[in-house]
Amino acid sequence: MKLYVIRHGHTPCNETGTYNGHLDEDLDSQGIQQALEACRRLKTVEYDVIYCSPLLRTRHTCEILNEKNRKVIYDDRLKERTLGVLDGRKLSSAGITLKQHLNYYYRYHVEGAEEFPDVFRRVRSFLDELKTTYKDETILIVSHGGLLRVLHYCMNEIPKDGDLSGFQTENCQIREYEL
């Protein structure tokens, strides 16, 4: 099975350096342009179905990408990690570093945030379902930077120190995996 994964387009929170987590915001004009460019890059890619996070920024990106009118399945397991008390706040006001908050699997915790082991469980559940449902097909996944980091490390080894910062995804960057 082949997976093409793409992060949603640019949003107002991306512009201001604000954690958006489960905030349901739309793309800005830059994000719309990024999604249109990604659609052009996907023209030669044949995929059978699209799985998408149900949050607005991913749904809008998906609508732009789905020029081929493929079936879209919205799946809560593809939502961004909830960031608890950091949702809607700027990193500079949170008193922690980005590395502390987003990149340590084992040891850094934020009040109300979904713990990385829980995010890994839901992504593994999603991937296991894909394996049984779409054995030899090609899937397009539209999701979020943090979620795609977890997906990447579900398909690769988690570093022994738990530092997940070695993987970053830009807005509307497309990555390919074999599952």
Higher pLDDT, 77 or 100: 77
Structural domains present in the chain: 2-178 (3.40.50.1240)
The confidence score (pLDDT) of residue 128 equals 96
Residue 69 has pLDDT above 70, yes or no: yes
Q: What token pair was written down for 141?
A: 């996944």
Average pLDDT, stretch 61-83? 95
Task: Report pLDDT digits (tens) over 17-47.
Answer: 888 888 899 999 999 999 999 999 999 999 9
Per-residue pLDDT, averaged over 121-132, amounts to: 96
DSSP letters for 27-75: --HHHHHHHHHHHHHHTT---SEEEE-SSHHHHHHHHHH-TT--EEEE-
pTM: 0.92
* DSSP per residue, 68-123: T--EEEE-GGGSPPPBGGGTT-BHHHHTS-HHHHHHBTTT---TTBPPHHHHHHHH
- For the sheet with 138-143, list strands across it: 71-74, 49-52, 138-143, 2-7, 174-178
Query: Band of the pLDDT at 101, cuts 50, 70, 90?
Result: low
The CA distance from 36 to 26, in Å, is 15
